[in-house]
Amino acid sequence: MLSEPVLRLGRGTVGVASSWRRWSVVLAGLVLTIGCDKPLFPSLVSGPAMGGGGSASQPTAAKVDSAGPAAPGPMPTAASASVRPAVLVTRITFDVLRVRVPQGLFSQSEKIWNHLETSFLPAETIGLLHRNGLRVGRGGADAWPPIRAILETTPRVETSQSSLTLNNGRPLSLEMDLQPKDQILFLYRRDGTLSGAPWRSSSNLLRIEYGISPTNADAVTMEIMPELRLDSASAQGSRGPERWNPTAGLVEPGLVIRELAFRVETAAGEFVVVGPSSATRELPYIAGSLMLREEKEGEKFESVYFLTPTVSRAGGP
């Protein structure tokens, strides 16, 4: 059984002006071809490194008539047996940039968000994410220079960057904690109710499910959502109140919070930003606070993640 790829980001390179620190991991997986039934899957390119598919041939089945099975076709010759059909491989590269700053730059200020598109999601989804401590933006190549300029002039900025290339369509999970911890999660639901539960020895992740856009072969459609994962089977007894179904979307012992999932499409060169909303300042137990806030030596910090998807192809005629 294939396990889901998990991307771990280092805890930071101080200063944005310095060269980005980069780790590249390539995951060997199942190769998808244009003729597959499932959609081809894209790649994510690193947090702002700003700077058509062919026709599918379908296999033919031998016809069987009422008189019995059809006669077998001619045996392949040695020459024809050596000829292989061309295969077009679509690779998925996820470049992820994590930026950590003192609390307030992302959650209490519009400096960064003013350069991003923030209203592309339905209003109901934006409101639900906000109440749960999350904010989402989308930007193009022209949005990165002013954002970088802001980060370069902000004191105590730490960055880390990783890259992962996939070609098997498995969901990608970004680990946000160095080690499991005991925590309490409260979830504001779409119906206006609030649920909460303790999660012993658990880790926070950002789960990304992705695919090629059906209308643009170079665009990536991503479904992004929080995930809680338990460190061991012994911790499973602490999962969720009665109204919470902890097995929904289960990957490993834990919970994929699909109620907070949002879908975003990025064209070539665009990136997505996931950061804390202003609700994290007063509510320490909501998803955005647990995932994107931390305290170090008595000082509070917050993080944002820049996700840049890129589609690459190899092979073919």
5 inside domain: no
311 inside domain: yes
Number of domains the chain contains: 1
Please report, in tens digits, the pLDDT of each residue of the chain (317 residues total).
456 777 776 555 444 433 333 333 333 333 333 233 332 222 323 345 443 333 333 333 333 333 344 444 444 455 544 555 566 778 879 899 999 999 999 999 999 999 999 999 999 999 999 999 999 999 999 999 999 999 999 999 999 999 999 887 889 999 998 889 999 999 999 999 999 999 999 999 999 999 999 999 899 999 999 999 998 654 444 444 444 554 444 445 789 999 999 999 999 999 999 999 999 999 999 999 999 999 988 899 999 999 999 999 887 65
4 inside domain: no
Cross-strand partners of 227: 205, 256
301 inside domain: yes
193 inside domain: yes
The residue written with tokens 């058509």 in the block is 52
Distance CA 12, CA 185 (A): 26
Instruction: List all residues 6 or more positions away from 293 whose beta carbon is below 8 Å from its beta carbon.
Output: 103, 276, 280, 284, 300, 301, 302, 303
179 inside domain: yes
Q: Which domain holds residue 160?
A: 12-50+88-315
Distance CA 132, CA 278 (A): 10
83 inside domain: no
Q: Are strands 271-276 and 299-315 parallel, antiparallel or unpaired?
A: antiparallel
219 inside domain: yes
